[in-house]
Structure formats: structure tokens, C-alpha cells
Structure 1
Amino acid sequence: MSFQPVTASFFQQPTLELARSLLGMLLVKETEAGTASGWIVETEAYIGPGDRAAHSFGNRRTARTEVMFGPPGHAYTYVMHTHCLLNVVSGPVDHPEVVLIRAVEPYTGTDLMYERRGRDRKERDLTSGPGKLTKALGITMGDYGRPLFESPLCIAEGKAFGPVETGTRIGIENSGEAREYPWRFWIGGNRFVSK
């Protein structure tokens, strides 16, 4: 199966546009065990210093957030409640913005996904959440900072899906007015969308 990764320039668009543009693209992870991939069906945008829900709120710069201050198109991975989550760094250098990949629809390597997530899972449950999809695809903290326009972790050319819907982000109850921003995007009617 050959994939055509996007070029670095794909990531040089405003964060909210990138969050939409990522829908329908293919997220691919190659590991020694094999390659697994899925169509991106849900994303969330986090717009840096002014966004109370963002790790870089107030320009907070730490070892963890450092990659967010670099060029767009790299992986920002972090652990939350034992789950590794994958974000795409967006925004120009020194504008720490990201897009969280919230859900994918399995495409290749489904056997590997079942191996990693448990054979007894329903297919919908393999990748219908940000922690589920990283486990299914084999994305780990070792992927922190990787460029997403080349192997082994990349975003590849995708396909057109149905209508894009928008709504508020999930799991950010303590972030003041940022709770209300309509910065979650998903493919309407797709059964792998997280909520």
C-alpha cells in the first residue's frame, strides 16, 4: 500500500482552516509490527496564547510545549490520563497553535488495531477517540516532534467525505469562555466520530 504524504506547505494554513482541511486526510503510522492507517474524521483546534484550553495559553513555554513554538506540521504528543494524544502543530513559528486529532476511521492495518486495542472490541470502538486512535495506530510519546510529512508518521492525501459539522470542544470544562468556541470539526454522520 503506497501513501502520498502531504508536503510541508499543507500545514501552512490558519489553524481553523487546517482543522477542517485535515478531515478526510489519511493518518499513517509505520511500525516494526506493520503499518496502520485511518481517515481523519474529527479534529479540534487550539489557538495558543489566547485560548484558555490550550497548553500554550499565555505563551506558556515548557519542555512539554516546546514543539508547539516551532514550525507547523510536526507532532505534538502528550499523555493525558495514561493515553497518548496526537496534535498537529499549526500556526507560524512562535505562535503555538495545534489541531488535536480526535477520531479516525480505520483504513489499513485493522488486524494490528485489534491486536493493540483488544480482539473483543467493536470496530467503531477501535479509533473513535483521541486516546483510542493513537493506541490503535501505535502512536507513542516517541513520536513527539516528528515531521508529519514523511515516514514513519505522516498525514497523506485523503478523499472527500460528507458534510463538515462544527461544535464546541470536548473535555475542557475548566477553561472559561474557551468552552464555547466552535472549534471542533467532524464529518457529519460518520460513525467513528467520538461523541
Structure 2
Amino acid sequence: MLKPHLVTVIIYFILASCASLPPGNPDNVCSLFTEQDEWYGDAQKAAQKWGIPLPVIMAIMHQESHFVADAQPPRTWVLGFIPWFRPSSAYGYAQAKDETWDDYLDGAGSWWSDRDNFADAADFIGWYCSISHTKLGIGAGDAKNLYLAYHEGHRGFQQKSYLRSASLRRVADKVALRAKHFHKQLSVCKMTSSN
């Protein structure tokens, strides 16, 4: 017979593994908010706090991690079979790099903030885009340019490093289109998703 504390540990690990599963339909923001009912309030709070529209925050997160809590860039391989280092320290829902996450913790986050926590990741994206808005003059609803600044960093955006990558500009167009789709979807389901 299993001891009560062992059962508690097993249940904890089962629940923890379920929490990191990707959502069933990441392309539909209404489905996301139905499946993960606390996410709507978390994303709405970040949007209101930083003045960045909720669909923009969600579209950037979709692009970065497809809403996978522990997303990371794939490892490189040596000789095709030896796992090596990852090309970047990007991690979590927002794919925040170590140094940028540390800046967030110093400026806006709290010591218990985690990159694999949805609320913290949404707040991070809102924070970063708010800086892009004030520092670079990008419109708060301009998902394309906010994403380019998010991907390239503020200095990279100022230096227009994105002009060297047609594929990155196509991705930024996709983020802008997804933000528009999310906005349309929210206009239909907002009342039910806030319950």
C-alpha cells in the first residue's frame, strides 16, 4: 500500500506534467482561454498594465513558443548524434533570454517570476513591448514592428537588422496577421472567456 506522502508526490508530478502540455488548439485564442481559464485574466492584466493589446501579447507568445511552457531552441548536434549546446538561452512561453529576463526581474518582475509561468511570460512580453513603444516609438498595436523589436532587441531594431532577413520579416507579418485573427476571435468569445 502506498503511503500518503508518496501519493501526494505522485499526484504533484502528474499534475505538473499535465500543466506543461501544449494547448489543443493554439491557433484559436477562444479555445486557449476555455482550456486554460486563468490565462484570460493573466493576459488581460498584462495588457492593461503595459498598454499593449491582449491579441498582440498572445500573437507574440504563439510565435515564440506555441504556448509550450518549457519551450527551448533545439540543441545542436556534434557528428550528428552527440547532443551539444543550445544556440540561445531562450526559454519558456516568451522565449526570454537569460539576460533580458534578468533585466525584467530587476525592472518589473519579482524574485518568484518564472519563464515557464504563463502570467509571468505575458507580463514580460507586455513589459518588453511597452519599452519598444516608448523607446522606439512603435505603436502599441503594431504587432509586426513590436515583434521585430522583440526578436532583434531594441538596438537591433534601431539598426534595422531585420532588413537582412526576409524570413524574419515574413514571420513578423505572420505575427501581425495572427494578432488580427486573435482580435476577431476575442470579439466573439470575450464574454464567455472571462467567466
Q: Do the structures match in fold with TM over 0.5?
A: no
Higher helix content, 1 or 2: 2
Higher strand content, 1 or 2: 1
Q: Which has the larger radius of gyration?
A: 2
